[in-house]
Every structure is written in C-alpha cells, then in structure tokens.
Amino acid sequence: MNDYASTQLAERQPKGIAQQQPADSTRRQTLTPNVDIVEDQHKVTLWADLPGVSKDRLNVKVHDGSLTIEAESVVQVPANLQLAHGEVRAPHFARTFTVSDDFDTSKVEASLKDGVLTLTIPRREEAKPRRIEVTVG
C-alpha cells in the first residue's frame, strides 16, 4: 500500500444504458484562470486566459483595493442540432487580486480578444519613479 491518494474510476456502462446524473450535477465548476502580470514604472498589465468567454458573460470589478474577475464560458451548440448528452459543462472563472495604492484603479482599461482578457492599470503620478537632479556645490 502506498501513501499516495487513490483516484477511483467509474466503470464504463454498456451501450444503451443511460448513466444517472449525480445529485449535484447542477453545480457549476469554478476555475482559476491562468494569468501573466507585467509591471513597469508606468503601469501594471494583466493577461487572463478565459477561453469561450464573451463580453456579456464577463464581469471585472474594482472595490476597496481588490480587483475581481468573474466570467462564464459558453459551450456552443450549432443551431440545427439539439444536445442529447453533454459531459462538458461551461466553466465559471473567478480570481481576485489585491491592488496596491500605487495604482489608479479609476483608470483601469480592459479588453477581451480571442479568449484573453487584458487589463491595464496605470500607476498614480505621485507613485511613479522620478529622477532627482543632484547639484554639486
């Protein structure tokens, strides 16, 4: 016996026998989207992977120093077909970040293209690094 957690696999049902749905089948799966974050002296830019998400199913909020991304993916079914059985559910994405006071959250820019959300948050002017001239004498 090993110390690793075991994974239990369900047996395959013979063809023609319908599988019963678990009682919690209406519960949606929440995924944490993968992100890349780049910060420079002027701004921070965040790219979040949100495959299958459209603009109307995307919610980006900033409140009390927190940036929250929530989105729901849509599994497309062609108009001339009716789904008889589906094992792929549209996932719900959610992720929250703490935003430093150095950034101006009133000026967040957001765009969504090809399943990638791009957020840009500019640094406050007073928080930007500045060069101080040194005099000799």
92 has a pLDDT exceeding 80: yes
**Residue 126: what pLDDT?**
83
| pLDDT tens for each residue of 57-73 | 999 999 998 999 999 98
pLDDT-derived band at 88, boundaries 50, 70, 90: low
What average pLDDT does the segment 117-128 reach?
Answer: 90
98 has a pLDDT exceeding 80: yes
Assigned CATH class of 30-76+89-123: mainly beta
What average pLDDT does the segment 29-55 reach?
Answer: 93
Residues 70, 65: Cα–Cα separation, whole Å: 16
Residues 124, 68: Cα–Cα separation, whole Å: 20
pLDDT above 70 covers a percentage of the chain that reads 79
pLDDT-derived band at 93, boundaries 50, 70, 90: very high
Tokens of 46: 């965040």
**Residue 76: what pLDDT?**
76
C-alpha dihedral (8, 14, 20, 26), degrees to nearest 10? 70
Domain boundaries, the chain: 30-76+89-123
47: closest CA among 59, 33, 37, 55?
A: 37
pLDDT-derived band at 87, boundaries 50, 70, 90: confident
**Residue 27: what pLDDT?**
58
